[in-house]
Amino acid sequence: MLPFVGFVGGSWVQNKVCFRNLAADHTLVSPATPHLSVNLTRDFSDPLVERDLQVYSILEACSFVFQPSKEEGNEEKTEDNLTTLFPGQKRRISHLVKQGNAEVPSKPVIRPYRPPTAQEVCYQRIQLAQQQAAQLVQKASLSLPGEKRRIAHVPNAALSAAAKQSLVSSKTTAAGRSVTPSNDSEAPSLSLKACTLAGMASKTTSTIVPKRVAHVPSLQSASLQRPVIPTEFGAKVPTNIRQRYLNLFIDECLKFCSSSQEAFDKALSEEKVAYERSTSRNIYLNVAVNTLKKLRSLVPNSPSSTNKTSNKKVVSHEAVLGGKLAAKTSFTLNRSGSLRAEDLTGPALYRRLKEYLMTEEQLKENGYPMPHPEKPGRAVLYTVEEKKTTDSSCRICCRCGTEYMVSASGNCIRKEECVHHWGRLRKQRVPGGWETHYSCCSGAVGSPGCQVAKQHVHDGRKESLDGFVKTFEKLPTTDGYPGIYALDCEMCYTKQGLELTRVTVINSDLKVVYDTFVKPDTKVVDYNTRFSGVTEEDLENTSITLRDVQAVLLNMFSADTILIGHSLESDLFALKLIHGTVVDTAIVFPHRLGLPYKRALRTLMADYLKRIIQDNVEGHDSSEDARACMELMVWKIKEDAKVKR
């Protein structure tokens, strides 16, 4: 085995080949091709040149043997001849692609089975349905020329009825023929025709689907006709709350009204009254609840409900606790700390109320009239506000804050209208802080007033401190009970300021013991009916004066008599009465912000006793306010007794 490297045809070749019979004449014989031999004999005189020629001749012979030219033609045979096999070695044969198949077939890729997902199943179903629908459309659209189209049979009602009758008659005749055979040949044909018609009618009528008709609301539908409350910007009560209670009112009115329109009108009127009487959302809710209770009481009781209640078996509390032996035994529960209603009358109530009496410091702090130490008949006020003007002829309107001039008799020198807000200022939380607005019209501070009066007015009660009387000591009675009374007064504006026009006194049994109208000493400028409830007709025939009222009250009260009221200092100023044994509900139920803020009486009744007062558009009722103060204190005593128990 000799390696040969040569440069043949512009390229280098290298291979391992076995040569034999390499003689002096330089004849090259390949073992793979013994029939080929190359004579390399040349005649050269120079030995070096001759050797080089011999080397190049050998390389050329090798290139001729191992890389034959294309002209020889058969490339496969040459490659096979150039392959040398050892003993036991197998020939490696490459699989050639046939000329007809240009692409080599690839083996199929076997993937593991995966069940389709729900989305794929739905997608496949939709595709299948679309394909079926497309095929049906093509079949329906393709019609051969001259071909008749099949039309579904529309049954006739009269024909189907006649077919059914003929079918019944054929059955009866068939039954008759089974008994007595007949030779009539038309009967089978008639029966067959009737059966055919009946069958067609049954098939056609059963396959017809009734036409679907959209529901049209009837005129009796109350939900579509119910009135809707329009939305107002800055309303004192949210519109959705008003609409909810309006719907409740309509539901109750529909139970006893003769028509739907009548129920709608009544519900609207009741809701409007509740809204007008309310100054805030909480007050509206309480008024609406009371109105709903009133409407429910107007619903007549159904006989079924009365029968149900009458048929119920009454079981006593003892029977439930003790079983059968409870009917033969009796027991009582004695609670030392319990406070029954009958205990809060007379002396017992007086002892309980002593815990809520105002101290002398509280009387001075809250602006109650105190006796002058040197001048009898004159009161002293320890919380006197500084006067902005020293001129007696210049006054400040207590409603709009405008300064106006008056004469020596108190008449306005120049007639001016008083444009003011009759409501109080309320603070409401809004995003980013607080907003202050009036409760009457929800107007902002500084906005023009919503009420117009004929002229300006002022208070003036704390300016004239003369003419006061003081309750005096009396001998104790046999039972040692000086008395408990609730007091409330109503006032109107005169030339000198606010003066007394009505006074009401309630005892501990919630009964009115004294109630009268009072004629003011000076001319009335404004009756203040919105708050006082007093009109010009009420004072037209009144002859009772303030001195008469003072005489009655001094006879009724003593220095130890407990007087109950809400912001009672204003009533005592109107009465020109000095009294130190006082229970003030505005102090017992204080405002969360402290003085000078005070909670309204109607708010206290709504929060604690769940009752609405002062909801009359004609004004306040002094007897109602006095009774409310007494009930609040009784409730307060009971609640505090539960805590102490």
In angstroms, the CA 426 to CA 106 distance is 89
Whether the predicted pLDDT of 508 surpasses 50: yes
Greater model confidence, 38 or 518:
518
Q: What is the mean pLDDT of residues 92-101?
A: 57
At residue 478, the pLDDT reads 73
At residue 636, the pLDDT reads 92
Give 160's pLDDT tier (boundaries 50, 70, 90). low
Beta-carbon count within 10 A of 517 CB: 17
At residue 586, the pLDDT reads 93
Q: What is the mean pLDDT of residues 516-530?
A: 90
Measured in whole angstroms, the distance separating CA 535 from the mean position of its chain's CA atoms is 45
CATH level 3 topology of 346-377+470-644: Nucleotidyltransferase; domain 5 (3.30.420)
Percentage of residues of the chain with pLDDT beyond 70? 63
At residue 67, the pLDDT reads 56
Nearest CA to 393 out of 405, 379, 411 is that of 405
At residue 427, the pLDDT reads 79
Answer for the pair 351, 440: CB distance below 8 angstroms, yes or no. no
Give 387's pLDDT tier (boundaries 50, 70, 90). low
Whether the predicted pLDDT of 33 surpasses 50: no
Taking CA atoms, 630 is separated from 271, 349, 368, in Å, by 30, 11, 20
80-91 confidence digits (pLDDT tens): 554 566 666 677
Q: What is the mean pLDDT of residues 180-192?
A: 45
Nearest CA to 395 out of 525, 495, 521, 520 is that of 495
At residue 514, the pLDDT reads 94
As separate numbers, helices (DSSP H) first and strands (DSSP E) second, the chain gives: 19, 20
At residue 236, the pLDDT reads 81
Whether the predicted pLDDT of 2 surpasses 50: no
In angstroms, the CA 194 to CA 206 distance is 18
Greater model confidence, 334 or 321:
321
Percentage of residues of the chain with pLDDT beyond 90? 20
In angstroms, the CA 109 to CA 55 distance is 57
Give the least confident one: 130-144, 206-220, 398-412, 569-583. Answer: 206-220
Give the least confident one: 25-34, 107-116, 292-301. Answer: 25-34
242-280 confidence digits (pLDDT tens): 888 999 999 988 888 888 888 898 999 999 888 888 888
Q: Which residue has the tokens 């300006």?
A: 456
Whether the predicted pLDDT of 557 surpasses 90: yes
Nearest CA to 493 out of 519, 523, 516 is that of 523
Whether the predicted pLDDT of 487 surpasses 70: yes
Mean pLDDT estimate for the chain: 74
Using only the alpha carbons of the chain, give its radius of gyration: 60
DSSP 579-597: ---EEEHHHHS--TT-TT-
Q: Which residues neighbour 117 within 8 Å (Cβ) at sequence distance 6 or greater?
A: none
The length of the chain in residues reads: 645
Q: Which residue has the tokens 């117009």?
A: 452
Q: Which residues neighbour 527 within 8 Å (Cβ) at sequence distance 6 or greater?
A: 492, 493, 501, 534, 535, 536, 539
566-620 confidence digits (pLDDT tens): 999 999 999 999 999 999 999 999 988 888 888 989 889 988 998 888 776 566 7
Give the bridge partners for 404, in sequence order.
395
Answer for the pair 265, 223: CB distance below 8 angstroms, yes or no. no
> Helices 157-179 and 186-207 meet at what angle, rounded to 10?
140
Give 28's pLDDT tier (boundaries 50, 70, 90). very low
Answer for the pair 284, 237: CB distance below 8 angstroms, yes or no. yes
Answer for the pair 26, 41: CB distance below 8 angstroms, yes or no. yes
Handedness of CA 568, 402, 464, 364 (dihedral sign): positive
| Structural domain spans, the chain | 239-297, 346-377+470-644, 394-453
Greater model confidence, 210 or 226:
226
Whether the predicted pLDDT of 454 surpasses 90: no
At residue 225, the pLDDT reads 75
In angstroms, the CA 114 to CA 485 distance is 93
Give the least confident one: 175-189, 439-453, 574-588. Answer: 175-189
At residue 570, the pLDDT reads 92
Whether the predicted pLDDT of 3 surpasses 50: no
Q: Hey, which of 136-140, 155-159, 622-626 has the most confident mean pLDDT?
A: 622-626
At residue 329, the pLDDT reads 52
Whether the predicted pLDDT of 455 surpasses 90: no
Answer for the pair 479, 346: CB distance below 8 angstroms, yes or no. yes
Q: Which residue has the tokens 């809004």?
A: 430
Nearest CA to 190 out of 212, 167, 207 is that of 167
Give the least confident one: 69-83, 137-151, 535-549. Answer: 69-83
Predicted TM-score (pTM) of the model is 0.51
